[in-house]
Structure 1
Amino acid sequence: MTRIITLFCFFIAQIGFSQTAENYLEKIRNNEALLTAFFQQMPKGGDLHHHFSGSVYAEPLLERAIAEDFYLNLESMGVSKTKPAIGNWQTFSSLKSEGKLAFYEQQVMQTWSAKDYNGSVPSDDLFFDSFQKFEPTIKGHFAEGMLELKNRAIAENVSYIETQLSTIPCDMNVADLNDFNSKLRNAASQKDEKSVLKLLGELYKAIQQKDAKKYATDFNTNFIAKLHKDLKIDDDRFTMRYQNFVLRFMDPVDLFKNLSIAFISANDSKLVAGVNIVSPEHGENSMKDYWLHMVMFKYCHSKFPDVKYTLHAGELTLGLVQPEDLTWHINDAIYIAGANRIGHGVDIAYEANSYDLLKYMSKNSIPIEINLVSNEFILKVKENRHPFTLYKEFNVPIVISTDDAGILRTNMTEQYVLLAKRYPDVSYATIKQYVYNSINYSFIQDATVKKQLVKDLDARFKTFEAKFSKN
């Protein structure tokens, strides 16, 4: 009898913990400082929409450029290890000797990130252009960045990151296959899926004959596995996995070559969780070849059915593109490409038959990766213009993520602060579900690892909620 009473009291206490945390959240809805303290300490599970190079903060990148005496382009604020032939370039050491270093440090910070953003350039241009400016400081320094991200995650109670670390290096010569570019685009212009799939089959065979697998194996073994092991990334506090990605702006042959290798890599390594596609969705090639890209994913899935993939789709808004271009990207990512998750999905309200699409996502458990700070900065979409509530109303699984925390000067805590403040109908229990979604809908291949992360999340929430039972 005593044991039964003890267990009953324990059960009531657990309910009390959760209820007390919920009551406290309701009291502080409109106070950002209190919300920040609350969510800083709350377990946040995983960050599933995460670009490595855009998540490292600008400060260490700039410090590295200065320490290694890079050349700085005084107009664009791009850097280079060697002096390019064209442009006004000067070493950081010479800028220091001339007393100009402090000025240019400030210019670099405002060009490589959203620090002190004042609208002098379009926000989407600043964001997407920043990558190529600081990219030379990333090369050869992945280890420092990975440890920075791990330590920051641990500090704000994030236990998992699924990051897009690097494209797969490939020097395969495909000049003899360039005829496929026009053939694929001609077939795509007619939406002739059968012909496109046939051409992709021929192209895939030609790529395999050029030993595509060796690039995937080298990447998996000598880059991903080596870094992951040497840095001891996984431990009892944190886990990281990696997404391969391809670049939308490339011509079809080069993109499909890279996509094929990305799928081979993901199929052969448990550390590579899945595949993605990146670059501005509103770019010329991105728009022109979007449908073709979706068929490419469909083809690769037929070859590697166990490989998961999430697609940037619908990172568009009215004014950025023509209205008719807002009606089909998420549809095609789901119905043609067969995406397992959708990144951004901002234009969902404009998509053709959006209600049916949302019902399909809900029924088939296709999560949406919500990036509140990113969508506000890049697309100027926030609060009631943001489709978060639309996804929520249709019970589409939701995960909260950062996108590019370094460029955007944000973190995971701020995403939850904005979520709680802007959408007061989202309860603590619902937010907690989003946290669990970030583990349950991750692409982690090892079921044991995923199970352990959920168990760890249980323990973290128990500790967090216990804090409020004492108030």
Structure 2
Amino acid sequence: MTRIITLFCIFIAQIGFSQTADSYLEKIRNNEALLTAFFQQMPKGGDLHHHFSGSVYAEPLLERAIAEDFYLNLETMAVSKTKPEKGNWQTFSSLKNDGKLDYYQQQVMQTWSVKDYNGSVPSDDQFFDSFMKFEPTIAGHFAEGMLELKKRAIAENVSYIETQLSTIPCDMNVSDLTDFNTKLRQAAIQKDEKAVTKLLDELYKSIQKKDAKKYADDFNNNFIAKLHKDLKMDDERFTMRYQNFVLRFMEPVDLFKNLIIAFISSSESKLTAGVNIVSPEHGENSMKDYWLHMEMFKYCHSKFPNVKYTLHAGELTLGLVQPEDLTWHINDAIHIAGANRIGHGVDIAYEANSYDLLKYMSKNNIPIEINLVSNEFILKVKENRHPFTLYKEFNVPIVISTDDAGILRSNMTEQYVLLAKRYQDVNYETIKKYVYNSINYSFIQDESVKKQLIKDLDNRFKAFEAKFSKN
């Protein structure tokens, strides 16, 4: 990177830079080294589609596993603090003593991330399966990861991250409510909204009686607020906020319980910027319960109308699911759930009445979170197969995000390099607009914080664009 920036500076000196940032960008469209130097230094605002555990690079996680002498499964490359009963597990210290540590370090890196990916397993499996394999290294070490992300963001001129940090721990016993799983799914099959709402009303009352609020309060006060304050995450260079999220693969009662707690948390803390839903959208429960999940978000919105939420929707492509399953996920996320932003939205061209849907998103300022590197690796969707141009044509607000930069071995700079190289009709002013979108459409609850980030962005762009003025 140092050599690239040096090359950039030499080039500036050679040409005297009598042109604007816009005209310079047009000259370097097809040179990735020059594009990288340009976008590395350009202010990039916020990263709004950001999974904490997938954004920490594998190297520090592996170092931690070795330092704490975790057990390694020699077949799957999963790690554990204690030795599981089944499987071929060995400690890292024993691997070192046997002279095998270097070999397995390489295997771990290739399993916990896309490093040296060779297509031996499907790309979506490679990506989604990695999380649980390294997850034990994150527990108890959120601080180290947060500081790593802050340091990296500052280095590449990113001023804000809205990260999905952690699920909210909850040991609430809902065994007496399991009958609702069947009842909710039966009502969902019939698309009986009234029946679903009635069942959710009953569930909501039961969950409230089980003191759902205490889990939200504990998370807000003893985890989020404490970490945020102790680490001094907010300063004049950087700001971080946190999205609560629930897991799509859970049974309906468990998911709804967690969703209620997530909404309570976000309604009572200015640090928790909204709610999300994650896990593979093409998973069995994700597909089977998708409509039901959207109804759950709609219900939660009726109880907590001030809480914003963004939904992973349409992270699908032809061949991954049946064609008819590409036609309704974004529609339902917007028209039923009432999502404030959409994450991925890759299947938009297949959605029923897609033009009307795009017009609705534009009219109602519902942004799309574009994740170019992620969509290319997981879904094999890139260049003119990617719907970026479709969203742009219909003036849907666009924000550029990383998704999971650690697993994908990427960063925010690379997203903009790909954007500029692949879509050459997107000029500098439009790219700059996307950067401002990432703050304007953020879920920051404190308007004074948002205004300060915009002011800071103004100053950063002024300094950046001054590099292109006459000497």
1:11 corresponding residue in structure 2: none
Query: Is it true that 1:277 corresponds to 2:277 in the alignment?
Result: yes
1:220 corresponding residue in structure 2: 220
One-letter amino acid of the counterpart of residue 418, structure 2 = L
One-letter amino acid of the counterpart of residue 24, structure 1 = Y
Distance 1:179 1:108 in 2: 41
Q: CA RMSD in A?
A: 0.9
One-letter amino acid of the counterpart of residue 133, structure 2 = K
Q: CA deviation at 1:19?
A: 6.5
Aligned length, in residue pairs: 455
Evaluate the alpha carbon distance shift between residue 336 and residue 92 of structure 1 in structure 2; reply closer, same or farther with a 3 A threshold. Answer: same
Distance 1:201 1:298 in 2: 12
Off by >4 Å, runs of 4+ in structure 1 = none
TM-score, structure 1 as length reference: 0.96
TM-score, structure 2 as length reference: 0.96
Percent of residue pairs bearing the same amino acid type:
89
Distance 2:43 2:118 in 1: 33
One-letter amino acid of the counterpart of residue 375, structure 1 = N
Distance 1:312 1:179 in 2: 28
One-letter amino acid of the counterpart of residue 244, structure 2 = N
Distance 2:229 2:18 in 1: 37
Distance 2:18 2:400 in 1: 20
2:178 corresponding residue in structure 1: 178
Query: Is it true that 1:438 corresponds to 2:438 in the alignment?
Result: yes
One-letter amino acid of the counterpart of residue 410, structure 2 = T
Q: CA deviation at 1:244?
A: 0.1
Q: CA deviation at 1:444?
A: 0.1
One-letter amino acid of the counterpart of residue 272, structure 2 = V
2:83 corresponding residue in structure 1: 83
Q: CA deviation at 1:18?
A: 11
2:20 partner SS: helix
Distance 1:108 1:185 in 2: 39
Distance 1:450 1:319 in 2: 41
1:148 corresponding residue in structure 2: 148
Q: How does 1:29-48 map to 2 (within 5 A)?
A: 29-48=29-48
1:69 corresponding residue in structure 2: 69
One-letter amino acid of the counterpart of residue 184, structure 1 = L
CA contact (8 A) 1:160 1:240 kept: yes
2:287 corresponding residue in structure 1: 287
Unpaired stretches in structure 2, ≥5 consecutive residues: 1-16
CA contact (8 A) 1:162 1:240 kept: yes
CA contact (8 A) 2:19 2:468 kept: no
1:402 corresponding residue in structure 2: 402
CA contact (8 A) 1:316 1:347 kept: yes
Query: Is it true that 1:28 corresponds to 2:25 in the alignment?
Result: no
One-letter amino acid of the counterpart of residue 67, structure 2 = A
Q: CA deviation at 1:79?
A: 0.0
2:4 corresponding residue in structure 1: none
One-letter amino acid of the counterpart of residue 460, structure 1 = R
Evaluate the alpha carbon distance shift between residue 388 and residue 19 of structure 1 in structure 2; reply closer, same or farther with a 3 A threshold. Answer: farther
Q: CA deviation at 1:470?
A: 3.7
Q: Residue deviations 1:17-67, cap 9 Å, x none?
A: 996000000000000000000000000000000000000000000000000
CA contact (8 A) 2:56 2:406 kept: yes
One-letter amino acid of the counterpart of residue 206, structure 1 = S
One-letter amino acid of the counterpart of residue 262, structure 1 = A
CA contact (8 A) 1:270 1:445 kept: yes
CA contact (8 A) 1:169 1:215 kept: yes
2:468 partner SS: helix
CA contact (8 A) 1:18 1:465 kept: no
Distance 1:121 1:18 in 2: 50
Distance 2:209 2:70 in 1: 40
2:415 corresponding residue in structure 1: 415
1:14 corresponding residue in structure 2: none
CA contact (8 A) 2:246 2:278 kept: yes
Q: Residue deviations 1:385-406, cap 9 Å, x none?
A: 0000000000000000000000
Q: Residue deviations 1:104-133, cap 9 Å, x none?
A: 000000000000011011110010000000
2:100 corresponding residue in structure 1: 100
Deviates more, 1:151-160 or 1:19-28: 19-28
2:3 corresponding residue in structure 1: none
CA contact (8 A) 1:249 1:285 kept: yes
Query: Is it true that 1:320 corresponds to 2:317 in the alignment?
Result: no
1:343 partner SS: strand
1:165 corresponding residue in structure 2: 165
2:121 partner SS: coil
